A and B are shown apart, each in its own frame.
Chain A
């Protein structure tokens, strides 16, 4: 039981430690993608308005 307990927590802990840096990078990528989408949407909206530079 002790081996099972320690083994599970060690594997889970290693998985978590490996995941953290990649998760941080993934968060950055998603934020950048969302910002780019918002910029393009704003540009498209500005182009459609009468005063926009379409």
Chain B
């Protein structure tokens, strides 16, 4: 996947509006769109096949061209989901190789989606907040419900993987007993039903339907959110030393005309726009190539990928 959204200054910079904070890279956003497509196809066709004895399933299958076609669409969507998962794994491998000193730092670091003791504290703090017995927790990079969503999607992938048993039974029965295929079918069916129910109720409320974000939180699609909203939502990430930091004032321009501003904390482009980087990708020693830069350096895929991993705030 190329990162062409940051190659165009006009596209990267909105015409006007409040300061924006970039939370998700173009790769994350595209993977999420592909995940939506594959998940909706899998849920539609999978539930149709699971409840094929019902009248509504018959109607849906006729719309899809029959149960056989539904099965084919289901397998194609599963291939797409596996592709999304593998892309994510390769991205993690790339992050580990280029930006993190160890697997431990990547998996258990402060910006990881792995559950930690902090999530338990924030979960309890949230319950107190719900009941009016405490303040809203100071959430960081990932809240506990975002992590839960992340692992729910991983569960959907694992469900797809288990379903590989019946899809290619001859291969798997070379080293698995026959009953394992039946178990795989049951586990896949129930786990997929759980994932579907969870996504369409809990995830939809958490991200789209809760009143403070209604009708939906668009950050996963646009990649950025207003800075003021970010400060309210993720105060700990905003305030943490390794995360977002306010730029020292006055800003001025650093190295006008140069594409390579090496200030580790604050970077400028030729137009004087400000960039901050956060600890997500540990890029303190990387060369920043702002989106405004023209020429081969600014257009190269490697530099665009580096830029994409910066948290960017622009004054427009």
Contact = CB atoms under 8 A, between A and B. Distances in A.
Pair from one complex: yes
Nearest to B202: A12
B170 interface: no
A8 B187 contact: no
A interface, size bucket: 20 to 34
Given A1-B187, A4-B194, A9-B197, A26 B202 contact: no
Contacts of B228: 34
Interface stretch (B61-69, B77-85, B205-213): B205-213
Interface in A20-43: 20-24, 26-27, 30, 34
Contacts of B211: 20, 23-24, 26-27
B193 A5 contact: yes
Nearest to B123: A15
B232 interface: yes
B191 interface: yes
Contacts of A24: 211
Contacts, number: 55
A2 B232 CA distance: 38
B150 interface: no
B interface, size bucket: 20 to 34
A18 B126 CA distance: 10
B152 to A, nearest CB: 9
Nearest to B205: A16
Nearest to B189: A1
A26 B212 contact: yes
Contacts of B197: 5, 9
B127 A12 contact: no
Contacts of B145: 15
B190 A23 contact: no
Interface centre among A20, A21, A23 (most CB of B within 10 A): A23
A2 B190 CA distance: 8
A13 to B, nearest CB: 7
A16 B201 contact: yes
A12 B200 CA distance: 11
Nearest to A17: B130
A16 B194 contact: no
Contacts of A1: 186-187, 190-191, 194
A16 B204 CA distance: 10
A12 B131 CA distance: 16
Given A16-B205, A30-B232, A9 B198 contact: yes
Nearest to A2: B190
Nearest to A22: B130
A16 B145 CA distance: 11
Contacts of B118: none
Nearest to A28: B211
Contact of A5 (B194, B201, B210): B194
Given A4-B194, A12-B198, A13-B201, A23 B186 contact: no
Given A9-B198, A16-B202, A18-B130, 16 more contacts: A5-B190, A5-B194, A8-B198, A9-B194, A15-B145, A16-B205, A16-B206, A18-B127, A19-B130, A19-B210, A22-B129, A22-B130, A26-B211, A27-B211, A27-B212, A30-B232
7 contacts: A9-B194, A19-B210, A22-B129, A22-B130, A22-B132, A26-B136, A26-B211
Interface of B: 126-127, 129-132, 136, 145, 186-187, 190-191, 193-194, 197-198, 201-202, 205-206, 210-212, 228, 232
